[in-house]
Structure formats: C-alpha cells, structure tokens
Chain A
Amino acid sequence: MSDYNFAYLDEQTKRMIRRAILKGLAIPGYQVPFASREMPMPYGWGTGGVQVSAAILTPDDCMKVIDQGADDTTNAVSIRKFFEKTAEIETTEATNAASVIQTRHRIPEEPLREDQVLVYQVPIPEPLRFLEPRETETRKMHSLEEYGLMHVKLYEDIAKHGAIATSYAYPVKVEGRYVMDPSPIPKFDNPKLEMAAIQLFGAGREQRIYALPPYTKVVSLDFEDFPFEASKADHACDLCGADAAYLDELIIDDAGGRMFVCSDTDFCQTRRAAGHIGAQGAPFEEAAQ
C-alpha cells in the first residue's frame, strides 16, 4: 500500500463527496455544492474530476483518462500516473476495458455500458453564468425553473450569426426540469449524453458536483424553427476512414497542409487495428507504437 490514503483523499472527504454524488444522482442536472479540497494540481487542471474519481474508485477498478479524446496528452498522462501512484489501480487506454473513465471535454466514440462510469472535468458548471453574473440570481432561476434567459442567448446567436453559434458546452434540459451545462464537450457529443453508463460532473474551483443517472432524458435546447444539429466537420478521418466520429484538424506543414484525425485516439487505433485505412493512413503496425 502507498503512503497515501487510497486515491489520495482521506475517508471523511470521500464520504462528503459521495454524499454529494448521491444527491446529484437523485436530482439529475442539479448542481450540488461540495467542499472542494486542495489538490496537488492547480485549479483549472481537472481538480473536480480528480476528486470525483478519487471518491468512487475501488482497488478493482480499471481507469482510463482522456483529454480532448486523447490518452497521451500531458494532462491525461499526469492524472493517470497520479492514480497509479495513489490508488495502485490498473489503468488502460482501451475504452471498453475501463470501468472508470475520466475525461476532459469529450465523450468517447465507443458507446459506454451500464458497468462503466464517466467522470467529466467541468470549468464553469453554471450554464446561465455568462448572462447573469449573480450566483444568488442563478440559484433562484434554477429553483423556480426560470430559463427564459437561456433561450435569449440562443436567440442572440441566431440574430447575430443566422444560426445557433454555440458549438461546445451546449446547454441541455435534463428530465424536463434542470438546465445543465454538459461541460465543454462539442455539441456533436450531446446526443451521447443519453447513455447506459453513470455520468458524474465535477467542478473543483467552482465547488459543484452534478450527475446524470443511466438512461436519463437529456434534450439540447433549441427553437422550433431552428432545431438542434449535432454537426461536425464534413470529412472522414484521414487515418482510419471513420466518417461518423468527431475529428481534430491538424496543420501538418507551413504550406497550409492539413489532415483530419479522430479526436478519440483509442477509437481510431482500434479501427486501424481492425484494418480500416483512411486517405492518409498507413497499414497499422504494432511496432510503430
């Protein structure tokens, strides 16, 4: 056993966070305040997600950490190493092998199962914040279900851009009651919010936890004559050929050359291992790892 408490947090803290999680699951989409702890990483680096994960991990869990869909960015690697050290649990890059997946700003392409938990890192939990800066007022608006202002924001988008311009952190209505910010996932991911896995959202700096139990109804806000569209770039992945996955656009040279690549690295890798090749892809080589 390490010198740390299991998964870094002490048991009392984990108890407090679990209570918040249970309350969040009982009231889908409602932001539960919690006493966010000092973590060994600064605010803005996923402390909320880390606290939620720490509170729910057990020694038998297998954890995956992704950042904008990739397992190999600095942040994903750091967090994964953090839990390897403090909880000594198994970690993986394969989505379907993980029991807990912590993510920053994306939902994996592979549909999740009932035995999995998805933990989101959330910067600003309050969907109304940019329209109404007062916390006292937004709390009242949520409790009284006064969400007209949310539609004002969408109205302003259409008036200015001809379409709803919000492309990430697209607000949703949960079980017909609370309006929720699904964290800065691309709106392409919004339909996936109705899933079989448990979804937990942690905001460390803002000290809020919220949750979506499995199979919760999640509807993206829109107007009758401007319905919601889960749009993405009109390309296929240049490595694996997937045309229904969310893509990152990469600049590859200084002459304007670019390629589109699946943002979900595990998804892309799995497809390439199965033999799919995209426009700029080479046959998958185990050795190239």
Chain B
Amino acid sequence: MIRIENLGKNFTLHNQGSAVIPVMEGANLTVSSGECVALTGVSGSGKSTLMRMIYGNYLAQTGHIWVGDTDVAKAEPREILALRRETLGYVSQFLRVVPRVPTLDVVAEPLLAIGTPVDQARDRARTLLAQLNIPERLWSLSPTTFSGGEQQRVNIARGFAHDYPALLLDEPTASLDATNREVVLSLIEAAKARGAAIVGIFHDEPARNRVADREVDVTGYTPGLAA
C-alpha cells in the first residue's frame, strides 16, 4: 500500500547564508495493507519529517513515495488533494483549530469532503466522540477552548472518521489517560483489521508494542546521525 524508495531530502535555508541541511538519504520502507509500522529513532532523527513527506506536506528531493498508485513525490497538487481526501489520512500531533466551527462538524468534515450526506457524517462523528469520551455538551462548541488532551481526542476522531486505506499517526496517544489510550489503540486495531496500512510514531513503548507489527529505525536514513 505504501512504498518508499530511495527517499532523500535537504532543507536549504536561504536566509541563513543558504545553509543546506540534508535530513534524509536513501530511505526505503514498505507497508502492506493491514500492517502497522512504527517509526523509531532519537528525537530529531526525522520520524515526523518522513511522515510529512508521505503526506506531501514536505517536498522530497530524490526518490519515490508510492501510496497506492500515486507517487506523492512527483504527483500534481490535485492528485495529492484527492489522495488526502479519499485514501491517506493523517493525525498530526496538534489539532489545528478553525475558529467558530463546532467540534461535531470538525470531526464530520472528512466525510463531508468525500460527499457523505450531512446526517450520516454527523452520526459517525457522534459515535467517535462518544467512544473517545468527549462529553456531549462540548460537541456544539469549537475546540479552541478545550484542554490539550481533549483537542488531541478530537483530532483523532477526525482522523478516524473516514475509513482511510492508509493512515499516518504522529504520537496518537500523547496526552491521553489510560482509558482513552485504550480507546485509541482499539481504533488502530480495528483499522488494521479492515486492511488499512498504518505508519505511526509512538514514544509510548507499551502502545507501540501493542499495535506495531514492525519497527523501522529512521536513524539509518539520517545523514549525520548514522554511523
């Protein structure tokens, strides 16, 4: 489902004397449907960078990123937009909040974007929010005033609203208590069971051990850190 070949990336900081910082070289990775791969490595080793590159948020200088039939590294913007809508989901570490939109609609949005009828989309959103223990009285409020943990759970609900064939999860259990951690892990397991290919970053070792089928250490792909 996801196949990364010889991926490389540099950052060129023009406003700091054009310093060129290589952050990735020769990365290879394959993730099959129903498989969860955990990215590991020390902080700053490029785990989030790799994830953002798969999503198309960061540009790749060399190599290929195949998600299904699309090479994200070379695709047209509209192809990536379509991919993000239908195929590739991303739960980032922080919820980017749009002011004034109620939580229910924040979670329902991915479904609305693919044309799901409003009522159906909202029903699914309600189910997920209930599962993640967000009190119903908060559903009509914007998440701007929620706590970090609550925002993270809204973020996760949004990521799981649509059954993406491929999912990227960046620290999905951070800031969560034991109960909610359990809910998120079972959501991940359910996604695997229906055939999703998942790439995740889990600093939480027990969580990682529970859902990851494989671990990939990205230190080997980071120039300056390897060897």
A–B direct touch in complex (beta carbons closer than 8 A): no
| A residues whose Cβ falls under 8 Å from a Cβ of B | none
Chain B residues engaging chain A, CB cutoff 8 angstroms: none
